[in-house]
Amino acid sequence: MNHLLGFFLLAISVSLSLAYDVSHFYVCSTDYVKKERNFLCQVSKFNMNVSLPPKADEFFNCCMETSDWMSRSNKALLVDQLAKDMKKYGFDNRSAIEKVGIDCRREMGSKINGRGYLLCFLTDRRTSKGFKNMLKKKEGEFFTKQSYCKSS
């Protein structure tokens, strides 16, 4: 019985560790915009200023919410989780993350959403390099492994 319990706990921990490596951007893209190849190509190259397909806002919100970087209820930036994820990939400046988030929310007001936060973190000099680096590593399935830019 103890061996069975041990095996069960091991299986759960392995499945949880595998789930952590899931690319939220990739999963969200298959849920909302999988046929929008040009859009996905541009986003995977960090070009967020592209014409938006019908479900683009849902895609960006899904990416931010499933990564636990943005609240589903009020679209608030979840600084603790974003700072934790960025620190894991070499960016250890919580203050910059907070300031960019505050500036972004102030600028966009009630229109803030996942795309807005992504644009802010990708374009602000305080966070751009660290945010891109984190996305390439944490969300590698979407940003580096998929071939959205190749014609099918």
In the chain, what are the domain boundaries?
22-144
Tens-place pLDDT, residues 121-143:
999 999 999 999 999 999 999 99
* Buried residues in 1-15 as b, exposed as e (16+ CB within 10 A): eeeeeeeeeeeeeee
How is residue 53 annotated by DSSP?
Answer: P
Contact by Cβ (8 Å): 26, 139: yes
Tens-place pLDDT, residues 71-130:
999 999 999 999 999 999 999 999 999 999 999 999 999 999 999 999 999 999 999 999
How is residue 35 annotated by DSSP?
Answer: T
Closest CA to 63 of 13, 121, 126: 121
Closest CA to 148 of 27, 43, 22: 43
**Which CATH number, 1.10.10.60, 3.20.20.150, 1.10.238.20, 2.40.50.100, labels domain 22-144?**
1.10.238.20
Global pTM reads 0.83
